[in-house]
Amino acid sequence: MPITFDTTSRTFHLRNDKISYLIRVLENGTLGHLYFGGSLAESGSYGRLSGVEYLGLSNRLGDPVALEYPTPGTGDFRVPALTVEQANGSTALDPRYTSHRVFGGKSAIPGLPSTYVQGYDEAETLEILLTDTPASLEIRLFFAIYADRPVITRAVRLRNIGSEQLTVRCAMSASLDLPDADWEMVQLSGAWARECHVRTRRLEAGSQAIGSLRGASGHEHNPFLALKREHTTEEAGEAYGLSLVYSGNFLAEAEVDQYQTTRLRIGINPEGFAWALDPGTEFCTPEAALAFSEAGLGALSDAYHGLYRDRLARGVWRDAPRPIVLNNWEATYYDFDEARLLEIATAARDLGVEMFVLDDGWFGRRDSDASSLGDWTANKAKLPGGVEGIARQIEALGLRFGIWIEPEMVSQRSQLFVDHPDWAVGVPTRPHTEGRNQLVLDMARREVVDYLFGVLSDLLGHASISYVKWDMNRNITEPFSPSLPAARQGEFFHRYILGVYDLYERLTRAFPQVLFESCASGGGRFDPGMLQFAPQAWTSDDTDAIERLRIQWGTSLCYPLSSMAAHVSAIPNHQTGRSTPLATRAAVAFFGVLGYELDPAALTDEEREAVSGQIAYYKARRDLFQRGRFVRLKSPFEGDGNETAWMTVSADAKRAVVGHYRVLNGPQRGRERLRLRGLDPKASYRVSVWPAGDDPISAANSGVRGGDELMRIGLLVAPENPVDSRSVGDFAARLFDLEAETPEADRR
């Protein structure tokens, strides 16, 4: 069993072959944290790890006692996990152990997404009940450990067992005390069109944090952070990960105290948050997933990829091959009619595309971003047969049909706004601040969610729609809901996200065959919370292949290939003006869920042939590109960032595709080699190079190579002869396809 309890030292041990997590009930009943890291023997007695701190904080103010769920005001002066204001105004808390239980599997969290099990033996959960008697507050801490993943998931439930109201001001999903501060913090930060750039900094005394106050997880910071040692690499060294299964305002923080210990915490951002906990009611935090690796950042990512791909995403699309789409956005923007769409779709079909996605502009009087959000009925001037008609015609071409919506929004120039001006989020005494000419619907209101469910059910029920791209293009200002009393306005942001989840839940249940893709101006809400409902997300509005190297590399720290939609677009690129070779654009977009975002009818014959070849290449390896083990080889965030390399490997290591990209070419590169990882050292691999050609790189690498050679010596990635480097050019990419040869012995 992965969870044991030593009754003498009152120590819980959550363990599997990869990790151990130790919790001790200290002498005074405070819940102490002893250890999280590599696996320790089950039989060991670890109570002594708490040393002199086993008493708890009594008469030892400010000591670096490691705690599971720290609270303020009673001797711990670091950042708290939980702050609850009591009826007398006090926020002091000192919860003590009351009881615990262990059960097979793991429980769902009401109203919130979370990871799950498919059988009770996949995971075990420890539920610890703490009580703060003066505050009449019960705190249930949930720790789940999967039998074969280096991950602990945590969540918390608070219950008011008294007769007076409590106000929850901060309720983190997890807090983790580490004994030293010799760490670097890795975060995924950026902006619109350059999401998830890897930023690394040494921990310093005091607090270092990332978060969001936008009402969505946001482009600026992803709800993920890792700690790594200075020498931790992709393949070696210690690393911790903290990831939040949540799509709203979040905080992820590392605090280094006066004794050089580190406290990590992750959860709903306490800024602006206040939840009125009435007597007898409960508040549930989102889930946090904590991972540990002794084998570098690569293994940390493996843990998150497997967990989120296989035990967070759900429904038929979790495992199903994802279709290759043609999205008309960059081909037409708002300027299209039925004939134009059919022209694009027909050309796409002829290239091998499987789904046509109709983006923004199909409804109301939507000819720009200035109007019509909320009026989800077809613009008959553009689509005389309505959505049903265009869907039918697209399907008649042999393609499936997908559609764009932005359900959480309303334009002031829309019928919906005329009918329900009060449904837009805003403070009645202030003007509304517009963003992209639009306002946000109050998803904290039940009637708004019900209305949207009705409208969208109608749309999905009447037309043959196989895919929905659910967009969200602005963040929330003037946060306020008239449906909440003054004392509850601090609940608004969380209630908004609960409303979004509720709508997603109802729609995915009612239309299980529809593939949902989440989007928020690209990666503005690319988070684990969304992945429960939409197993893939539009990674970024930036489709430039060179920009995408960094975006996709960074995103892959936490998110699997199956979650990253990546499209080939036209040149000059619409975000950067850069012109990259068509093969390079495809070689980047292959690593994820491939699509095209251009006008296929405008391609030259040569380009058409190239795109057909790309699609055929991808289809033949779709499982590898969407579900293979993603191995990062050369980081665009290191050195001069000129080179990037990564690979995807099948579970049995028999097949792999390596991508190598160089931004600017240069002469005299010498015998540059790229060492691979994750192969079978004993296997022989047939190597072929894409795009095929009689160039020096193909000549030098094609043929049969041992897995050991490929991992210890590597592939040649620059021409040996300086004259040959002229043939390479800037923005070059090459894929190396590896297929294990069947050994002679097995052939017989």
Residues in touch with ligand DGJ (CB under 6 A): 329, 359-360, 404, 471, 473, 519, 521-522, 538, 541
Residue number with CB closer to ligand DGJ (325 or 647)? 325
* Alpha carbons 436 and 192: distance in angstroms, whole number: 14
Residue number with CB closer to ligand DGJ (304 or 538)? 538
* Alpha carbons 689 and 697: distance in angstroms, whole number: 8
Give the count of beta carbons closer than 10 Å to the beta carbon of residue 536: 29
The per-residue DSSP string of 714-742 comes to: -EE-S-SSGGGGGGT-SSEEEEEEEEEPP
* Alpha carbons 182 and 2: distance in angstroms, whole number: 29
Residue number with CB closer to ligand DGJ (532 or 569)? 569
Residue number with CB closer to ligand DGJ (153 or 473)? 473
CB of 618 to ligand DGJ, least distance (A): 21
Task: Return the closest-CA partner of residue 48 out of 64, 67, 24.
Answer: 24
Burial bucket for residue 327 (CB in 10 Å: 0-12, 13-18, 19+)? buried
* Alpha carbons 459 and 635: distance in angstroms, whole number: 44
Residue number with CB closer to ligand DGJ (354 or 360)? 360
Give the count of beta carbons closer than 10 Å to the beta carbon of residue 191: 11
Question: Do 72 and 215 touch, CB atoms closer than 8 A?
Answer: no
Question: Do 82 and 67 touch, CB atoms closer than 8 A?
Answer: no
Cβ contacts of 353 within 8 Å, gap of 6 or more: 324, 325, 326, 399, 596, 600, 615
Question: Do 336 and 593 touch, CB atoms closer than 8 A?
Answer: no
* Alpha carbons 237 and 228: distance in angstroms, whole number: 8
CB of 436 to ligand DGJ, least distance (A): 8
Task: Return the closest-CA partner of residue 57 out of 86, 89, 80.
Answer: 80
CB of 541 to ligand DGJ, least distance (A): 4
Residue number with CB closer to ligand DGJ (83 or 438)? 438
> What are phi and psi for residue 245, nearest 5 degrees?
-85, 75
Residue number with CB closer to ligand DGJ (523 or 628)? 523
Residue 178 is encoded by which pair of tokens? 């580490």
Task: Return the closest-CA partner of residue 263 out of 237, 225, 235.
Answer: 225
CB of 519 to ligand DGJ, least distance (A): 5
* Alpha carbons 310 and 313: distance in angstroms, whole number: 6
Which positions are annotated as active-site residues?
471, 541
Give residue 23's identity as a one-letter amino acid code: I
CB of 340 to ligand DGJ, least distance (A): 17
CB of 565 to ligand DGJ, least distance (A): 10
CB of 688 to ligand DGJ, least distance (A): 34
Residue number with CB closer to ligand DGJ (576 or 702)? 576
Strand partners, 4: 13
CB of 500 to ligand DGJ, least distance (A): 17
* Alpha carbons 147 and 144: distance in angstroms, whole number: 10
